[in-house]
Amino acid sequence: MSRLEITYPDNGIFTQPIRTTHEGFSGGSEVKCIQIGNRSPEHYYTNISVSVEKVGGVDVDVGDIFSSNGWGIKLLSLEEEPTEKDWANRLSNQSLDLDNIGDEENASTDQIQKVWIRIFCPGHSDPDILMSKLKLQYNTLLVNNAVT
């Protein structure tokens, strides 16, 4: 199968939409982590990008820092959970470019990239379980010595 595998760190399968709960009155954020990796020894992946499609159930237009309801998602790729300073240096609802996984010679099936997701709820929002959605794009290429 020639697609990237997305899981949670506990190896649970990642499904969309991303469900988050927010108390609403005081606002706040919830952080989740996903892992992206290759399980195909015949393929490698380039131009990997994660972008925000919806936050809190509202479509996000490219370039918008917040959705129309004030919600936002920040994306970071780090090995460890980001610090408040890391999050502060990242704008909301911006796409995240990841490193290539594998190359012409090696599929790199052991390479995992973590993506940290911080969903922000503005204060004075109604408490709710809300749905957000990400989009993963990439190019799939055959490893030179792959048997097809």
Nearest to 71 by CA among 37, 103, 24, 115: 24
Which CATH number characterizes residue 50's domain? 2.60.40
pTM over 0.85? The answer is: yes
pLDDT tens digits along 110-125: 999 999 999 988 888 8
DSSP 3-state of 73:
strand
Report which of 3, 31, 14, 4 is spatially closest to residue 112, judged by C-alpha positions.
4
Domain that holds residue 69: 4-140
Q: Is residue 146 part of a domain?
A: no
Evaluate whether residue 147 is within a structural domain.
no
Q: Does a structural domain hold residue 148?
A: no
Is residue 107 included in any domain, yes or no? yes
Q: What is the DSSP letter of 88?
A: H
Query: pLDDT (tens digit, 9 = 90+) per residue, 30-88?
Result: 999 999 999 999 999 999 999 999 988 888 877 777 677 778 899 999 999 999 999 99
Residue among 6, 134, 21 nearest 73 (CA) = 134
What's the pLDDT tens digit per position in 4-32? 999 999 878 898 889 888 777 788 889 99
Asked whether residue 8 is domain-assigned, the answer is yes
Residue 47 lies in a domain: yes
Assess if residue 87 is contained within a domain. Answer: yes
Residue 4, number of CB atoms within 10 A of its CB: 19
Tally of domains in the chain: 1
- Whether residue 70 is contained in a domain is answered as yes
